[in-house]
Amino acid sequence: MIFLRRTVRVAVLTLLVIPITAVTATPQAAADPRKRSQADAGTLARHRLAQLKVARPLSIRGYSHRRFQPRWAHHKGRCDAREVVLARDGRRVRRNAACHPVKGVWYSPYDGKWLKSEKQVDVDHVVPLAYAWRSGAGKWSQARRRAFANDLTRPELIAVSHSVNIAKGGQGPQSWRPPRRSYWCRYATSWITVKSHYRLSVTRREKVALLNMLRTCRGR
């Protein structure tokens, strides 16, 4: 009988200890998941960047926007890639019967602007088409270039303000960076992800610029 009482008492104490341990550990574990994820993304990006071929930029001769994108490709019924991105990146987006956004609000992560009209929004190619051409895309088939220009799987397409997209143009990270420094980590990891998937080369200056931007990843 005494043995049974001791057993019950030990079991009760064990049940009391377990929740206390869990409660103590949870706040610390939940405190920095974003820091860990950004740091992990930065680490992976550095690994991918190290594997990219470093080469001089190829000639722009023969390049034309139409060699990549005579028009936006359709992905979902009547919706083309641009319309899909606008619906994905916007808030409270309403579309007409033809899938074109007629109302919504968009946040431009490059410059921190809130946009209340679709006319103020551009869908940016993170790695510009002309830049991709000089990195090796000029040797691709028309089908592969078209797939690149309409890629919704990789972080190649993003809704941004028209003004910041015009300022960026076809420049690489050694010449242009998003005005919002807090977005540099995301921009660099996106750029590297796209180039890694499509096996595009980088220049030495481009690589240095990307490494500098990756230093802003949290946890580094």
Give the domain extent around 73: 34-214
How would you label 3-24 residue by residue, b for 16+ Cβ within 10 Å and e otherwise?
Answer: eeeeeeeeeeeeeeeeeeeeee
Query: How much is the average pLDDT of 49-62?
Result: 97
pLDDT at 5 over 50: no
Q: Give the pLDDT band (50/70/90) at residue 34.
A: very low
Q: Which pLDDT score is estimated for 4?
A: 38
Instruction: Tell me the C-alpha distance between 141 and 27, whole Å.
Output: 52
Query: How much is the average pLDDT of 141-170?
Result: 97
Q: Which pLDDT score is estimated for 39?
A: 83
Q: Which pLDDT score is estimated for 219?
A: 59
Residue 84 CB-density burial (10 A; 0-12 exposed, 13-18 middle, 19+ buried):
buried
Query: How much is the average pLDDT of 131-139?
Result: 98
In a domain, 152, yes or no: yes
In a domain, 16, yes or no: no
In a domain, 11, yes or no: no
Query: How much is the average pLDDT of 76-102?
Result: 93
Domain count across the chain:
1
In a domain, 74, yes or no: yes
Average model confidence (pLDDT) across the chain: 86
Q: Give the pLDDT band (50/70/90) at residue 78.
A: confident
In a domain, 8, yes or no: no
In a domain, 17, yes or no: no
In a domain, 18, yes or no: no
Q: Give the pLDDT band (50/70/90) at residue 220.
A: very low
pLDDT at 28 over 50: no
